[in-house]
Amino acid sequence: MPSTNRNNVRIGGAGPATIVFAHGFGCDSKMWRRLAPLFEDRFRTVVFDLVGSGGSDLAAYDRRKYGSLRGYADDLVEMLDELEMGPVIFVGHSVSAMIGLLASIEAPTRFRAQVLVGSSPCYVNDLDYVGGFSRDEIDGLLETLETNYLGWSSTMAPAFMGAPEQPELGAELADSLSRNDPDIARHFARVTFLADHRADLCKSTVPALILQSREDLVVPGEVAHYLHRHVPNSSLELVDNIGHYPHLSASADCLRAIDTFLLRTLS
């Protein structure tokens, strides 16, 4: 099956360069509804669903292939090859930021720049590395997902979203999480939260913007600074936002930060 069908690829906008937007865990391409359209007057835009999410082909979900983030990175490279796009600007949220970084290492000529939104190479604290969670906390989270995925989704969505002045966004996230196939979501969560790609960061050759909310329950600020130190040719921009989804709750600020980065990087 072509990746355009498997990954529910949708193309919009018009312009000499292409921006590809990739969503995080438990979400789908609709999470870009406030940010991607802001670029459509200047860029061709691409949104898609990771296999196992949203409108993707759920039958294509292979636990062996997607037992690591590299399976998704392979999909991304395949999609860009099929669409004959590139080099593209890649904007990835959360786990998709690492997927994009891995893909850019695999096929650097396909990428012109990358934006890592709320990204983490490793969620587990390790010696002097602050990932945000102890291994026991991650194990507890995964156990809760196994026993009560829907309950976890409805309880945690508002906390992860943050944005206390926009409570409707927490409800939107809870709805997105609840629409996922629970078995796939549990497997994807395990792959996401136990991944460790710290050793891959130095292999990146594509200019990167690390875009981070000032307060993020999922990814603490220390992680953003770690990325900035270890990803070559990277810059760090803090968004005055509470929550893990600044592209939804602070889209105007994200637009300004990305525009500034692209003006500096592409000129």
Mean model confidence pLDDT for the chain = 96
Domain with residue 136: its CATH number is 3.40.50.1820
Give the angle subtended at the CA of 124 by the CAs of 118 and 130, to the nearest 5°: 70
Query: What positions carry a catalytic annotation?
Result: 94, 216, 244
Q: Distance between CA 248 and CA 157 in Å, rounded? A: 14
Q: Distance between CA 121 and CA 104 in Å, rounded? A: 15
| Structural domain boundaries enclosing 145 | 3-266
Q: Distance between CA 147 and CA 226 in Å, rounded? A: 33
Q: Distance between CA 248 and CA 143 in Å, rounded? A: 29
Name the residue with tokens 């759920």.
Answer: 58
234 in Cβ contact with 227 (< 8 Å): yes
Does the predicted TM-score (pTM) go above 0.75? yes
Within its chain, how far is the Cα of 100 from the centroid? 8
User: What number is the average pLDDT over the span 17-41?
Assistant: 97
Number of structural domains the chain divides into: 1
Q: Per residue in 182-234, pLDDT tens?
A: 999 999 999 999 999 999 999 999 999 999 999 999 999 999 999 999 999 99
Can you give the pLDDT at residue 2? 76
